[in-house]
Structure 1
Amino acid sequence: MNIILSDRAFQWFKNEMEAKKGDFIRFYARYGGASPLHEAFSLGVNKEEPFEIGTKLEYEGITFFIEENDLWFFDEHDLHVQYCDKLDELEFHYLKN
């Protein structure tokens, strides 16, 4: 399972979450909403320190990660994080790895 981040999405994290070198950005499964993979769960994003990293991507000194106990949510799919200009927000895509 991999995290793939577009350059525009990275800029969004820098601008909107004020992410800087040395920060950690966590993607996690949260109850509520829906996703293409699970009807009652959606993807959350938070700036926080890791506990037990299951997978990570380091991008210009910022670590994007998923905890080991959240890997089930991705069901053997890679997480692709992109930015949508039209909606002015992040988009998450799940592609089978």
Structure 2
Amino acid sequence: MKIIVTDQVSKWFHNEMGLSKGRGLRFFGKVYGNTPVHEGFSLAMTPDDHPEEPYAITNKDGVNYFVSEDDRWFFKGYDLVIDYDQSEDGPRYNYVENGEL
């Protein structure tokens, strides 16, 4: 799994969530809601500066964006591309199949 964070959404995370170099943001699946690839589950995030057992991690502008091993089930088979959605003034999450089974 890859996590891809665009320049525009990185700026949004820095400005709106107060993230700065050395900080981290963990993505995980939560009950309720829907995604294009999961019925009954949605994507959630929380600041987390200490990734333990990351399943996937990427660093963009000094911030670690990651998914823990415990949340592999939610992302398995997909890369997560995070872009800025100007119309919503926030992140847009795209799940791109990667062939991982």
TM (normalized to structure 1)? 0.94
- Counting only pairs closer than 5 Å after superposition, residues 15-54 of structure 1 correspond to structure 2 as 15-48=15-48, 49-54=50-55
CA separation in 1, counterparts of 2:62 and 2:53?
19
Instruction: List, as ranges, runs of 4+ consecutive aligned residues in structure 1 with deviation greater than 4 Å.
Output: none
- Counting only pairs closer than 5 Å after superposition, residues 42-81 of structure 1 correspond to structure 2 as 42-48=42-48, 49-81=50-82
TM (normalized to structure 2)? 0.91
Aligned residue in 2 for 1:13: 13
> Which residues of structure 2 form unaligned runs of 5+?
none
Please report the RMSD computed on the Cα atoms of aligned residues, expressed in angstroms. Answer: 0.9
CA separation in 2, counterparts of 1:61 and 1:5?
12
The amino acid across from 2:38 in the alignment is H
1:82: Cα distance to partner? 0.6
CA separation in 2, counterparts of 1:74 and 1:37?
9
CA separation in 2, counterparts of 1:23 and 1:66?
14
Structure 1 residues 14-40: Cα deviation after superposition (integer angstroms, max 9, x where no partner)? 011100011010011111111111101
Aligned residue in 2 for 1:95: 96
> Which residues of structure 1 form unaligned runs of 5+?
none
Secondary structure at the counterpart of residue 36 of structure 1: coil
Contact 2:10/2:61 (8 A) holds in 1? no
Contact 1:77/1:95 (8 A) holds in 2? yes
CA separation in 1, counterparts of 2:52 and 2:59?
16
